[in-house]
Amino acid sequence: NEDIDEVFREYYRCINSFPDAKNLKYVHQILISNNIDAEHYIREEFDWIRSALSPKDRNKYLEILRVGRKFPFQKDLREQILTGLSLWEEKMTNVGIIDYLGLATQVHTFKDKIIPIYDHVIVDESQDFGTTELEIVKKLTKTGDNNLFLCGDIAQSVLPKSRSLKDATIQLEGRREKIMKNYRNTRQILEVAYEILYNNLSDEHFNNSDDTLEILD
């Protein structure tokens, strides 16, 4: 009945004589010296890695562009973070607890055994799905017309996940439709939301080759 947030706190702060996270001390010091909540940021980094890469591909983390992650990590820091993630997963296993992305990670160990069993799949709130989760959805879906329908609003995404439809082998060319009329909010709400979004954009939001973000006036 332990809460996973409490278990992570125990892991990260090396409580109860469990020193697993000591290898993250250097990363921790660099982050706090830059006025960043290190514990929160590293946990989000763990989620970003697991949403971007299957377990067998994690070494790619040492080189890939971390889209959506603000603070730069050099290779030596990334190596320490990967080790920390492995020990965090081991901690969850030993305690007997798992989080959502941990479940997706476990499913990926059986990815080659997944067969497409659904003619059509609808994914609502697709902005909350990471690459590894979408890859599993794609594996479950048969090839055909209108086989996969993704509905979401990328501007509403609040989770620290990597999302690449291309890496999830989902092809959008010639299959994307944009809702040009606002059915949900008043014009005043939309104008305020647009201003907030526009004033907080950075270049990296437009450097994603997957082209999953487009700003409509």
pLDDT in tens, 84-136: 999 999 999 999 999 889 999 999 989 899 999 999 999 998 888 999 999 99
Q: Other C-beta atoms within 10 Å of 104: how many?
A: 19
Alpha helices in the chain (DSSP H): 4-12, 25-33, 38-52, 75-95, 100-108, 131-140, 187-199
Report residue 96 CA to chain centroid gap.
Answer: 23
Please state the φ and ψ torsions of residue 118, each to the nearest 5 degrees. -115, 135
Residues 6+ apart with CB under 8 A from 5: none
Q: So what's the pLDDT on residue 163?
A: 86
How is residue 216 written in tokens?
């409509």
Q: Residue-wise pLDDT tens for the chain (217 aa)? A: 778 999 999 999 998 877 888 999 999 999 999 999 999 999 999 999 999 998 889 999 999 989 888 899 999 999 999 999 999 999 999 999 998 899 999 999 898 999 999 999 999 988 889 999 999 999 999 998 889 998 887 767 677 888 888 888 888 777 777 777 766 778 888 888 888 888 887 776 666 555 566 666 6
